[in-house]
């Protein structure tokens, strides 16, 4: 008898129940606190062999940032995951501290992934899921209420290019290391009557095949699953009787950024029109599961697409061929080439709580406005050349996983350079005055001497599309915009000075030039990697 009791006691941890979140136990009216989340995740990790739990860094306030790797067999490193030859899916949420619903979806999904016999658990034979349920715990835990930004008040979903905020920078490094096939970033937004909304990369610098993979593959599949469960899903953000509009196209935003590094970048937004967030969290969870299922069902084609997009990016750079959309209008969209049907709130309804199945009208038109308008292109070079003092710009490139090299001896090169015809400043993000250049329409072709130590950034690398976006001086997220090269920019009266140095590379005098030059044709150079 005593022996039986003892065995029972020893066995207890193995037969213990999987935990629930406090969001679940309080009926979707309050969210799971940060430390309770850690207890919950550690409890699950102690009961499964398909979940690896670790921290990828710390916030400014010292909170540990969790991530989990789910797979069968269990793996813990990018090398192991890539050797499984399966789609690698990044799921993250809560980069905006007050946007909490999809974080709860992920926490519930984590338990299901770890529970034998569930559908998500079975899908782990075909995909690897890397989950970071809470990127911004400082904003989440802020008092008296959660904040959009982190503890410095910074919106980290605008920090993907700059990478200055501890939490986002650490998450970006995780992405550099894993290079996932797909990433879903979970937010709260979108519109009634939908329970979950989505959008893919909308920056035109990304390979359009990645966006098509979402728009004509994953998203219709999500619609089917979500509808079968009694929910509604549609594109982010909102519409009226004339058109349905997409969200911003800036590369500093997660889903756009990921498209530029040849990862399928998806935004989920959970519309917050219900007091009880249980249904919204459930619809979000189903959408995440559907991303897994669609990726499992189409694994070979999806991996081939990403492989091809990455190789093509490298080859375009190695040849110095292609066009870069540099002037992208953030506020202007063109429609996709198709007819759509969606629902909006019935304008006749004037009550408090509209019913998503009754108080709506259906709109049919061809105005799905998700294609950002491009107002200018430039030619893709073989390499960009930066002055050897441009260490802040180089550091930003390196934080983005971009390979930067430098000349080991002086060379003379024929390059293209842009004449600066105007400089103005704009308060945006956390800068009081970002630097915006206006350039002459046609670049100058010139012969220039470059000293040893000058930086060379070749576009023939897997992040070549991002290289071009960060080093073309007219884009909205380049290293000049973010003030890392202000020392070379002519301000005020100096702008019209044709006698001063042209900026950056010494010698020649004349109208000021943008301090990033372009080597248009492939050429072997004496280089070593800049560390």
* Span of 184-192, 287-295, 347-355, 405-413 interacting with Zn ion by CB under 5 A: 184-192
Q: Which residues of 294-305 are buried (b: 16+ CB within 10 A; e: fewer)?
A: bbbebbeebbeb
Residue with the shortest CB distance to Zn ion: 187
Shortest CB 8 distance to Zn ion, Å: 48
Buried-exposed string 325-350: b where 16+ CB fall within 10 A, e elsewhere:
bbebeeeebebbeeebebbbbeeeee
CB of 189 to Zn ion, least distance (A): 6
Candidates 36-44, 122-130, 187-195, 521-529; binding stretch for Zn ion (CB under 5 A)? 187-195
User: How many degrees, rounded to 5, is the angle at CA 308 between CA 305 and CA 313?
Assistant: 125
Helix (H, G, I), strand (E, B) or coil at 390: coil
CB of 333 to Zn ion, least distance (A): 19
Q: How far is the CB of 96 from Zn ion (least distance, A)?
A: 4
Nearer to Zn ion by Cβ, of 68 and 253: the residue is: 253
CA dist., res. 100 & res. 213, Å (int): 27
**Phi-psi sector, 269: left (phi>0), alpha (psi -120 to 50), beta:** beta
Residue among 253 and 407 whose Cβ is closer to Zn ion: 253
Give the C-alpha separation, 285 to 428, whole Å: 34
Nearer to Zn ion, 190 or 325 (CB): 190
* Least gap, CB of 237 to Zn ion (angstroms): 11
Cis-peptide into 480, omega within 30 deg: no
Determine the interface stretch with Zn ion among 89-97, 229-237, 273-281, 337-345 (rule: CB under 5 A): 89-97
Query: Which of 413, 420, 419, 409 lies closest to 384 in space, CA to CA?
Result: 413
Which range in 90-98, 174-182, 297-305, 462-470 contacts Zn ion by CB under 5 A?
90-98
| Residues belonging to the chain | 531
Using alpha carbons, select from 30, 52, 58, 74 the residue that is nearest to residue 134.
58
Nearer CB in complex with Zn ion: 359/430: 430
Antiparallel, parallel or unpaired: β 264-269 and 182-187: parallel
Angle at the Cα of 49 from the Cα atoms of 44 and 51, rounded to 5 degrees: 60
Cβ distance to Zn ion smaller for residue 87 or 186: 186
Q: Which residue carries 């970006």 as its tokens?
A: 172
* 187: contact with Zn ion by CB under 5 A: yes
Helices (H), 320-402: 391-399
Specify the stretch interacting with Zn ion by CB under 5 A; choose among 33-41, 88-96, 206-214, 341-349. Answer: 88-96
Scanning 95-103, 177-185, 273-281, 435-443 for contacts with Zn ion by CB under 5 A, the matching segment is 95-103
The tokens 């299901």 sit on which residue?
Answer: 112
Please state, in angstroms and rounded to a whole number, the distance separating the CA atoms of residues 458 and 456. 6
Nearest residue (CB) to Zn ion, 111 versus 187: 187
The site map against Zn ion for 475-514 (x = CB under 5 A) is ----------------------------------------
Who's near 43: CB < 8 A, 6+ residues apart? 18, 19
Token couple for 256: 């756009």
Report the nearest approach of Zn ion to the CB of residue 98 (Å). 8
Establish whether the linkage from the previous residue to 327 is cis, with ω within 30° of 0. Answer: no
Least distance to Zn ion, CB of residue 174, Å? 20
* Options 53-61, 72-80, 99-107, 310-318: segment touching Zn ion (CB under 5 A): 99-107
Please, what is the minimum distance in Å from the beta carbon of residue 202 to Zn ion? 15
Side-chain half-sphere of 115: how many Cα atoms within 13 Å?
Answer: 17
Closer by beta carbon to Zn ion, 92 or else 295: 92
* Cβ atoms of residues 417 and 513 within 8 Å: yes
CB of 269 to Zn ion, least distance (A): 7
Please select the residue that binds Zn ion; options are 40, 99, 262, 465, rule is CB under 5 A.
99
Distance CA 321, CA 94 (A): 39
Q: How far is the CB of 239 from Zn ion (least distance, A)?
A: 19
Q: What are phi and psi of 295, to 5 degrees?
A: -70, -35
Work out how close the CB of 186 gets to Zn ion at its nearest, in angstroms, rounded to a whole number. 9
User: Other C-beta atoms within 10 Å of 223: how many?
Assistant: 18
Alpha-helical regions (H) of 185-277? 208-213, 219-228, 254-260
Minimum CB separation of residue 140 from Zn ion in Å reads 12
Would you count residue 255 as binding Zn ion (CB under 5 A)?
Answer: no
Task: Give min distance, CB of 131 to Zn ion, in A.
Answer: 18
Q: Which of the stretches 37-45, 54-62, 186-194, 336-344 binds Zn ion when contact is defined by CB under 5 A?
A: 186-194
Q: Examine residue 155 and tell whether it contacts Zn ion (CB under 5 A).
A: no
Shorter beta-carbon distance to Zn ion: residue 163 or 187: 187
- What is the total count of residues that contact Zn ion (CB under 5 A)? 3
Q: Please identify, among the stretches 74-82, 97-105, 305-313, 380-388, the one whose residues bind Zn ion according to the rule CB under 5 A.
A: 97-105
Residue 93 or 530 with smaller CB distance to Zn ion = 93
Of 248 and 354, nearer to Zn ion (C-beta) is 248
Rounded distance between C-alpha atoms, residue 358 and residue 352, angstroms = 14
Interacting residue with Zn ion among 86, 96, 195, 465 (CB under 5 A): 96
* Residues contributing to the site for Zn ion (CB under 5 A): 96, 99, 187
């Amino acid at each position: 008898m005593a022996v039986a009791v003892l065995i029972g006691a020893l066995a207890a941890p193995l037969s213990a129940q999987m935990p629930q979140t406090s969001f679940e136990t309080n009926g979707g009216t309050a969210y799971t606190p940060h430390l309770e989340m850690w207890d919950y995740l550690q409890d699950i990790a102690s009961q499964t062999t398909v979940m690896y739990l670790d921290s990828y860094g710390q916030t400014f306030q010292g909170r540990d940032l969790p991530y989990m790797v789910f797979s069968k067999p269990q793996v813990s490193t990018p090398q192991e995951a890539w050797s499984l030859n399966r789609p690698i899916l990044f799921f993250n949420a809560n980069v905006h501290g007050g946007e909490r619903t999809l974080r709860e979806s992920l926490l519930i999904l984590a338990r299901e992934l770890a529970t034998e016999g569930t559908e998500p658990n079975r899908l782990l034979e075909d995909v690897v899921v890397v989950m970071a349920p809470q990127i911004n715990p400082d904003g989440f835990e802020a008092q008296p209420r959660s904040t959009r930004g982190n503890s410095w008040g910074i919106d980290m979903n605008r920090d993907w290019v700059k990478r200055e905020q501890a939490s986002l920078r650490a998450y970006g490094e995780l992405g550099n290391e894993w290079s996932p096939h797909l990433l879903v970033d979970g937010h709260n937004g979108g519109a009634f009557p939908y329970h979950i909304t989505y959008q893919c990369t909308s920056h035109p610098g990304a390979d359009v095949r990645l966006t098509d993979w979402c728009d004509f593959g994953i998203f219709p599949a999500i619609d089917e699953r979500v509808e079968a469960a009694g929910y509604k899903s549609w594109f982010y953000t909102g519409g009226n009787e004339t058109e349905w509009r997409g969200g911003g196209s800036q590369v500093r935003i997660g889903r756009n950024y990921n498209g530029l590094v040849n990862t399928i970048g998806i935004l989920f937004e959970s519309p917050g029109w219900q007091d009880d967030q249980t249904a919204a969290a459930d619809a979000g969870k189903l959408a995440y599961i559907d991303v897994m299922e669609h990726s499992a069902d189409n694994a070979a084609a999806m991996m081939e697409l990403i492989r091809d997009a990455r190789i093509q990016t490298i080859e375009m750079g190695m040849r110095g061929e292609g066009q870069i959309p540099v002037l992208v209008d953030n506020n202007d969209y063109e429609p996709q080439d198709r007819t759509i049907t969606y629902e909006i709130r019935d304008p006749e309804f004037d009550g408090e709580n509209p019913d998503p199945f009754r108080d709506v009208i259906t709109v049919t038109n061809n105005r799905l406005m998700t294609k950002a308008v491009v107002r200018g292109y430039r030619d893709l070079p073989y390499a960009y050349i930066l002055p050897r003092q441009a260490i802040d710009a180089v550091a930003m490139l390196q934080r983005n996983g971009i390979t930067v090299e430098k000349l080991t001896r002086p060379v003379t090169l024929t390059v293209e350079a842009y004449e600066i015809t105007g400089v103005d400043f704009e308060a945006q993000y956390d800068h009081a005055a970002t630097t915006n250049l206006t350039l002459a329409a046609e670049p100058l072709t010139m012969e220039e001497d470059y000293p040893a130590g000058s930086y060379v950034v070749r576009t023939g690398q897997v992040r070549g599309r991002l290289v071009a976006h960060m080093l073309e001086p007219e884009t909205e997220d380049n290293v000049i915009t973010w003030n890392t090269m202000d020392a070379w920019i002519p301000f005020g009266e100096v702008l019209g000075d044709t006698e001063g140095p042209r900026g950056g590379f010494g010698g020649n005098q004349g109208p000021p030039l943008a301090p990033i030059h372009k080597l248009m044709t492939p050429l072997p150079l004496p280089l070593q990697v800049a560390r």
